[in-house]
Structure 1
């Protein structure tokens, strides 16, 4: 279905032009498929764990300026192609197909949620009492590698798995059953989604600015505190707390909206990533704003590691003094980066509404178009953490087999060595980098298609003028994302 928009071309359009444009997009897909071979290298490589500073050195040797230019050109040509494609060709790209009846019982989700809560409780205990090494303790590896990197990417790619494994729904249901009902306090409507937005920013701030976010005992206390506050909020205010005040669930719910699978008419449905944003209920201001904050936070996550950022702070990137020296600078940069991104998007949207003479208030247009940046955020999330996941997932497997670091082998892995050999050759690093760049470009292409389809549905006239400023915003985000991947890092 991803190519349906490119196949339906009427005779009055130049087929050679469309074929040339399509070849650029297909080349990106082939690059990602080629980069997938690296996973095989990871599985087959052997050797001890090595520091992979060679990755950054090899990236600097690659012709990244050409790769960045090609990626930006692919996105720009996608914009050009959208100008000549008929409306039906774009909107049909996001059609969905109902597959089978959705017959899951609520008690099954409650059971899986209870199991998830039990596993989380065990991880918190191991975080407090287990080994102090973050690469040997299962808690930080599970939270930051399997969940923050892996699960978030899977949620955005496939759909809402969080509703099955969140660690609150089951315990809340069990406690309400034991006490014979809920407390039933109404969540204050004047709070809107601001509690959830602030809790999301607090989570990102903890990841980026805390002096030791991977310290097992420190992380265990933070996770236990967040779980307890969310559990108490859901017990008092009901499910609305999770939808409006739980930043983690709000983020994952938004990512689920761009997944390929979803529910429609009581059946499981499948479509191109983003189809639920086009066919589902329009989001409110809070979730729309959070969509941009997810993107802005992801961009700053890459920016604050670059030589450019450290030079801006007056620090020598080769003599980085540690995270404790830049806590407030990092938090301030996170806020400023998000403010700049939101202002740029709102400015582009305002200009598009004016140029297209769209009869739609700006706040309504913001709620309609802001969620279309989620594929960009997902693509950059994948690209930014891809190499880290390749290494740390191996540590997670080793920690699962020996959770107390006592030389156990619960999974029967035998002698297990964490391999980073795929960082030691220029060819393998090139494949890794192209795979990351392909993720960024594909995310932007899907976002452009989705934004154009949304514009066609929201307004029937002057769509090109309406979308031009937002398209320029997305093209610049492509350049910025690829530049961040290629930039040297100080820590």
Structure 2
């Protein structure tokens, strides 16, 4: 999600166009940070760390850790665990979830349509999507408890049972097994398109209508195929947060096989374990329930058959967050510019079409590359597995990479723009209220610095890939039952992991690392110079105020900028005035009016001299 304040975006544009100094900028808040070493050293160092981890893991991990014997601590044995699992606590969380769900729709429909003054965009894109992803990956599958679509459906279902002698709303149709999780895949792709491509994604009323439409679709799926079946196969966010929660340090478990015998979801894995099945957990007697602390990422090693649709879903999560980062790189800007000129017949829809094609192409590229490396693994060990079978077996080993990239890409976004929730809780509709006394709160953009953001990204990406290497090695040991074969099978996976580590860091750095190449400039004019139109504007040094240059003025050179205008966060389109804005500030900040001028910035002065 790229929502930049005009001044920041324009100022960065100016410096990028006119500077040859290599430095790092904190994404979205304009703070500078000089890397102590060149970027290529970070990239190669990170790749070397991942490769070294492969050697260490290959030497010392020679047996598959037992899934039944990994250390677990049942929190329900302790008073605090029993307190947190008391029906009042989940009930309160469900009430809060439904309350914010309904409030978000209401504020979107009837509130102020300025995204900065309306609760809905911040609630949807920052608090819910980014925040819930972190909670799922680093805490546990809270979404399975508070999902408002599930909660409201259960309320209606419960009321119907009480009022009707039939007891059931509807006898659901059997869910077609051949569909797998493709319904959830399609809906998550639509969500990613809304997040990354749709120009009206920050307009509150648009988000409200999208939420209502998705709600109707979700409840229809629950009605037709049953609540649990649709949550398992069709509800995009139950799938997404459920995948991320496999990494989490908590799980729910049912120890009585008799409970799972009647489960419509066929929830037991090949080891006979029932883990994170909310349906069974809800029906199980107290003595058969466990709410466990466990090692991180062990949930990604469950011994189960992974269908092609689930592998595609995992790759979709990874490809969409990567595409989000790639859209901020100069490479994508050049691709976009080239395609923009080739599609004049599409008019104002060209950018949307180009970005849609890019989103789909990124997923297809990820799928193709991953399948090819899966086949390379099979060839390395002369496997007799069917086409794609090995690739599917390793699909969940990619989840730590997706979590790492999510952390690297969105962490500063959550910490900085997430602060908007503080004033918006006091005035959710943008009507000028101050219900909680926090409406006057202003964002603290210095809460994290550029250095912190950069090193967080580097550490997260490297650790994510190292964990993925470990998981892939363990899965290979289990699938091939031979240490040498397992090690040999991982050579292609190592190449993939190292390559993606380097690409990830390069993508993360592009929006904040300037190119050393100087921008192209036109040749110096003839001795007579270039006549400047008398109505041309020139910013006054020290103030930045634009003044007409007047008659008879000459210039030594001419530079033409060709830029693709787009929409700002509030839906308004960029104009020429927005391009002039940073020049005004450059003239003000790049000129020292006195020895202690607080507005003077030597970096801007040097970049624009």
- Please classify the TM superposition score into its range, dividing by the shorter chain length: 0.7 to 0.9
* Rounded Cα–Cα distance in structure 2 between residues aligned with 1:295 and 1:260: 21
* Rounded Cα–Cα distance in structure 1 between residues aligned with 2:139 and 2:304: 19
* Rounded Cα–Cα distance in structure 1 between residues aligned with 2:250 and 2:120: 29
Q: In the alignment, what sits opposite 2:59?
A: 84
SS class of match (1:313): helix
SS class of match (2:74): strand
TM-superposed deviation, 1:407: 4.0
Q: In the alignment, what sits opposite 1:5?
A: none
Normalised by the length of structure 2, the TM-score is 0.66
Cα separation, partners in 2 of 1:324 and 1:64, compared to 1, 3 Å: farther
User: Which of the numbers 40, 44, 50 marks the counterpart of 1:75?
Assistant: 50
* Rounded Cα–Cα distance in structure 2 between residues aligned with 1:75 and 1:386: 23
Cα separation, partners in 2 of 1:134 and 1:243, compared to 1, 3 Å: same
Cα separation, partners in 2 of 1:228 and 1:112, compared to 1, 3 Å: farther
Normalised by the length of structure 1, the TM-score is 0.81
Cα separation, partners in 2 of 1:162 and 1:280, compared to 1, 3 Å: farther
User: Which of the numbers 185, 200, 211 marks the counterpart of 2:172?
Assistant: 185
* Rounded Cα–Cα distance in structure 2 between residues aligned with 1:184 and 1:107: 30
Extract unaligned runs of 5+ from structure 2: 13-24, 162-167, 256-288, 341-346, 513-563, 567-609
Q: In the alignment, what sits opposite 1:352?
A: 377
8 Å Cα contact 2:71-2:294 kept in structure 1: yes
Cα separation, partners in 2 of 1:410 and 1:114, compared to 1, 3 Å: closer
* Rounded Cα–Cα distance in structure 2 between residues aligned with 1:91 and 1:380: 29
8 Å Cα contact 2:371-2:388 kept in structure 1: no
Pair 1:404-2:413 in alignment: no
8 Å Cα contact 2:426-2:439 kept in structure 1: no
8 Å Cα contact 2:140-2:248 kept in structure 1: yes
* Rounded Cα–Cα distance in structure 1 between residues aligned with 2:61 and 2:44: 28
SS class of match (2:117): coil
TM-superposed deviation, 1:106: 7.8
Cα deviation, 1:74-102, whole Å, max 9, x if unaligned, reads 1111112122113249779x933132338
Q: Give the paired residue count.
A: 436
8 Å Cα contact 2:172-2:223 kept in structure 1: no
SS class of match (1:230): helix
TM-superposed deviation, 1:107: 9.0
Q: In the alignment, what sits opposite 1:388?
A: 413
- Equivalence map 1:105-254=2 (5 Å): 112-113=93-94, 115-180=96-161, 181-186=168-173, 187-238=175-226, 239-254=228-243
* Rounded Cα–Cα distance in structure 1 between residues aligned with 2:66 and 2:50: 18
TM-superposed deviation, 1:272: 2.9
TM-superposed deviation, 1:136: 1.8
TM-superposed deviation, 1:287: 1.6
User: Which of the numbers 433, 436, 458 marks the counterpart of 2:479?
Assistant: 458
- Equivalence map 1:439-450=2 (5 Å): 439-450=460-471
Q: In the alignment, what sits opposite 1:306?
A: 329
TM-superposed deviation, 1:170: 1.9
* Rounded Cα–Cα distance in structure 2 between residues aligned with 1:204 and 1:323: 21
SS class of match (2:383): coil
Cα separation, partners in 2 of 1:90 and 1:65, compared to 1, 3 Å: farther
Q: In the alignment, what sits opposite 2:607?
A: none
* Rounded Cα–Cα distance in structure 1 between residues aligned with 2:233 and 2:495: 32
8 Å Cα contact 2:377-2:390 kept in structure 1: no
* Rounded Cα–Cα distance in structure 1 between residues aligned with 2:186 and 2:406: 20
- The alignment's C-alpha RMSD in Å is 2.9
- Equivalence map 1:429-440=2 (5 Å): 429-440=450-461
SS class of match (2:443): coil
Instruction: Select between 306-315 and 472-481 the one with higher mean Cα deviation.
Output: 306-315
8 Å Cα contact 2:73-2:294 kept in structure 1: no
* Rounded Cα–Cα distance in structure 2 between residues aligned with 1:395 and 1:488: 23
Which of 1 and 2 has higher RCO (CA within 8 Å, sep 6+)? 1
Cα separation, partners in 2 of 1:213 and 1:442, compared to 1, 3 Å: same
Structure in which a larger fraction of residues adopt helix: 1
8 Å Cα contact 1:254-1:287 kept in structure 2: no
* Rounded Cα–Cα distance in structure 2 between residues aligned with 1:139 and 1:354: 51
Q: In the alignment, what sits opposite 1:268?
A: 291
8 Å Cα contact 1:140-1:215 kept in structure 2: yes
SS class of match (1:87): coil
TM-superposed deviation, 1:378: 0.7
Q: In the alignment, what sits opposite 1:484?
A: 507
Cα separation, partners in 2 of 1:420 and 1:105, compared to 1, 3 Å: closer
* Rounded Cα–Cα distance in structure 1 between residues aligned with 2:93 and 2:419: 26
Cα deviation, 1:88-131, whole Å, max 9, x if unaligned, reads 49779x93313233874789757744542232112100111112
Cα deviation, 1:132-165, whole Å, max 9, x if unaligned, reads 1212211110110011111112211222111111
* Rounded Cα–Cα distance in structure 2 between residues aligned with 1:171 and 1:414: 31
8 Å Cα contact 2:415-2:447 kept in structure 1: no
